[in-house]
């Protein structure tokens, strides 16, 4: 005779598995990993072939840095349940973080095929495309994400950054304004919007946005450095100098603020201080052309033409064809031939 209690027993069994999985997820969110491990082991003991349990074990393994075990658990979950979106997505994130972009893309696309309207999947796929240099695909995926979830502030921000990075500052403004509108406390978005305004020459607006970023996250070297650049662009040298020095105090190992301080001091006629700052910038950031170019300008203005030419050529080796450095080198060569200089032949630049 058939046991009439069997369906109820199976339901109770599954309910216990679900409860253990929910307990494990709650424990992981609270970083109680031992509790999460125990709960998942209890679920696994009840049914070692539960795709949900295997997927959550993968998440725990990944959180603890056991990446090989995490990948194995995700793949086992997918084998048991090929339509399990979170297993495909979690596998994609794991592979993405490991830099395995091709299999990560395939896993994201599989997750997207199963859940085509999901904004988060599209956002992660966009990030992968941006990192792999597929700009058009990245933009399309970011736009898809914000169409599906209009308050997705990070997607708006990253779309704006993508457009700024490819020289479309005017088009980057609207997405970044969306990011700050949906998340007024999102400091990165305010900083990136300030960069856009600076690029567009709207420095007073940029200053206001940069100050908001600083209010939200005091103590970031990028913020202080950018504020210094904006103040200098408005002719407020003393305030700019204070910001560059504050940036250096926050992160003395970063070369950009040293370079900007050096250029400011040079323009103020404080050549000894300027040279020390610029040489420190070159030491700290030997792969950036800006600090070496700034040092070249100082050397040229000091009449040390041979050293100046060496500096310009070194900057061009780092970034061949860089227009500002090429212009400085050509101006130096004209000066060495005794020809008149244009007003901006030895103009300085700023280091982002």
Q: Considering only 19-33, 78-92, 155-169, which range has the smallest mean pLDDT?
A: 19-33
pLDDT tens digits for range 102-124 = 999 999 999 999 999 999 999 99
Given this model, what pLDDT does residue 350 score? 63
In Å, how far are 14, 21, 104, 282 from 54, measured between CA atoms? Answer: 15, 10, 19, 51
Does the pLDDT of residue 11 top 70, yes or no? no
Does the pLDDT of residue 164 top 60, yes or no? yes
Gyration radius of the chain over CA positions: 28
Superfamily designation of domain 29-116: Tetratricopeptide repeat domain (1.25.40.10)
Work out the average pLDDT over 281-308.
96
Work out the average pLDDT over 331-336.
92
What does pLDDT average to over the chain?
92
Name every residue whose Cβ is closer than 8 Å to that of residue 258 and which is 6 or more positions away in sequence.
Answer: 248, 277, 278, 280, 281, 284, 291
pLDDT tens digits for range 72-101 = 999 999 999 999 999 999 999 999 999 999
pLDDT bracket for residue 1 (50, 70, 90) = very low
CA–CA separation, 155 vs 161, rounded Å? 10
In this prediction, what percent of the chain has a pLDDT beyond 90? 81
Does the pLDDT of residue 7 top 70, yes or no? no
CA–CA separation, 116 vs 132, rounded Å? 22
pLDDT tens digits for range 221-252 = 999 999 999 999 999 999 999 999 999 999 99
CA–CA separation, 80 vs 53, rounded Å? 11
Contact 186, 157 (CB under 8 A): yes
DSSP-assigned letters across all residues of 320-340 = TT-HHHHHHHHHHHHHHTTPP
């Amino acid at each position: 005779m058939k046991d009439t209690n069997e369906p109820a027993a199976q339901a109770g069994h599954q309910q216990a598995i679900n409860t253990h999985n929910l307990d494990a997820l709650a424990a992981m969110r609270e970083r109680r990993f031992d509790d999460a491990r125990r709960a998942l082991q209890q679920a696994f003991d009840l049914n070692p072939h539960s795709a949900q349990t295997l997927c959550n074990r993968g998440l725990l393994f990944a959180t603890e840095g056991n990446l090989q075990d995490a990948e194995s658990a995700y793949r086992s979950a997918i084998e048991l349940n090929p339509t399990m979106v979170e297993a495909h997505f979690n596998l994609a994130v794991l592979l993405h973080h490991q830099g395995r972009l091709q299999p990560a893309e395939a896993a994201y696309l599989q997750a997207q095929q199963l859940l085509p309207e999901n904004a988060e999947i599209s956002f992660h796929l966009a990030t992968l495309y941006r990192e792999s240099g597929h700009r058009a695909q990245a933009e399309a995926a970011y736009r898809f994400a914000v169409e599906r979830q209009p308050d997705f502030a990070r997607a708006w921000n990253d779309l704006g950054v993508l457009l700024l990075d490819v020289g479309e500052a005017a088009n980057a403004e609207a997405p970044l304004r969306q990011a700050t509108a949906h998340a007024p406390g999102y400091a990165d978005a305010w900083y990136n919007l300030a960069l856009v305004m600076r690029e567009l020459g709207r420095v007073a607006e940029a200053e206001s946005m940069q100050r908001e970023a600083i209010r939200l996250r005091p103590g970031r070297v990028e913020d202080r450095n950018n504020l210094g650049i904006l103040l200098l662009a408005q002719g407020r040298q003393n305030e700019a100098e204070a910001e560059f020095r504050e940036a250096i105090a926050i992160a003395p190992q970063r070369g950009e603020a040293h370079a900007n301080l050096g250029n400011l001091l040079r323009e103020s006629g404080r050549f000894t201080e300027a040279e020390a700052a610029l040489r420190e910038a070159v030491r700290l950031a030997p792969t950036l052309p800006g600090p070496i170019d700034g040092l070249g300008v100082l050397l040229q203005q000091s009449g040390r033409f041979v050293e100046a030419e060496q500096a310009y050529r070194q900057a061009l080796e780092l970034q061949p064809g860089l227009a500002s450095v090429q212009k400085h080198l050509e101006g130096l060569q004209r000066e060495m031939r005794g020809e008149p200089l244009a007003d901006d032949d030895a103009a300085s630049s700023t280091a982002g």
